[in-house]
A and B are shown apart, each in its own frame.
Chain A
Amino acid sequence: MAKLYNESFPEPVKPTGPKDETVKSLLNFSKALSVTRYKNMTFETLNN
């Protein structure tokens, strides 16, 4: 007789939006990132 396999799947998850920490870290990244241009070159600096 063929074996029967059963797999239980997790409950469906609804998206609730990004975590507050994620948004905060993006805003911190943005504040810390500075871009300097010299002639045709671009330099990125993270000021933490």
Chain B
Amino acid sequence: MDLTFSARETAFRDELRAWFAANDSGPEPPMSSTGTREDEAHFAWRRDFQRRLHDGGWAAPHWPREHGGRDASLTESAIYFEELGRARAPLPANVLGLLLGGPTLMVWGNQEQQDRFLGPILSGEEIWCQGFSEPEAGSDLAAVKTRAVRDGDGWIVTGQKVWTSGAQYARWCMLVARTDLEAAKHKGLTYFLMDMDQAEVQVRPLRQITGESEFNELFIEGARIPDEHVIGGVGNGWKVALTTLMNERAGLAFFLQVRLRQLLDDLIDEAAARGLLEDDVVADKLGALHVKAEILRLTAYRGLTAIEKYGQPGPEGSLTKWMWSDANQQLTQLAAELLGPEALVTGSRWGYELLRARGNSIEGGTTEILKNIVAERVLGLPRAR
């Protein structure tokens, strides 16, 4: 057991810290609570910062060198996301392309597809979004109804997608659609890259409870996808989608963990400044969140070791997202309790965080689904109903 970082990992962290020190992302533009114009400024800020990351060779250290990455180990990748969070820098604008799309292409894409798409993902020149969920297929992904029908050397797609983050800025959509109505539920699916730049794809931003719009509805009415944008072969969409989903949480956990820590530290500072820590009840509540944040960090590191040593995540790997969403919701609620009115004003940081945190236990797998997964796959309980 050794919870220190190796010389190589420390050098990686030092180099990264030096880079962040020299490349401040600047103040975060406010998210909109009333419309979309400010959201665009916010996205532009993230896109600009991704370009700088890319110029510095830091857009995707977890990618192989041949594709513009740094061959970073899992631990180094965790360090990268911790440092990104610590520098209070934004997640790269094309986070879905970097974390999901690129790695999926590296597994399932052919040479032409890799040559065409990986570069613009890395630079942020082309933004990617993820078209999996549908109104009738949320947690039950295999129930997708969006249809792709063969048409000459391509496909015509009709259907609807929802919760599509960043679609309003995206050029490419990782789209799962049904290509075979006869085949069993999982088997009739194909994974496409859909060009968002066509009139047959309409994007309607969904306004969240925060007032801003991160995600969207997609209305697809006869959109065209050429054959060369099928990823992993016709009828193989379920397997390809699983590759995408398996990449979903790996690195992000460390970014989120650091963000939670920062929010908590800021709240502790505010509480201390107001003399609230002298109150045992307040100190207890803040301490409880400190405990949760530390347990999350340690458990995430245990998960990393499990993957590095045994090639697959242990039980702890399934728990960190649940721990994080739970802690972040409690933290923002406590902030509202301790700071009172100023945390409840529209446009205030804590007011925003309080509302945004409600999404944490829904996005990327609801806590209920995570509990099912833990029960069935980790504990081996019979399939729940």
Chains A and B come from one and the same complex = no
A residues near B (Cβ < 8 Å) are none
B residues near A (Cβ < 8 Å) are none
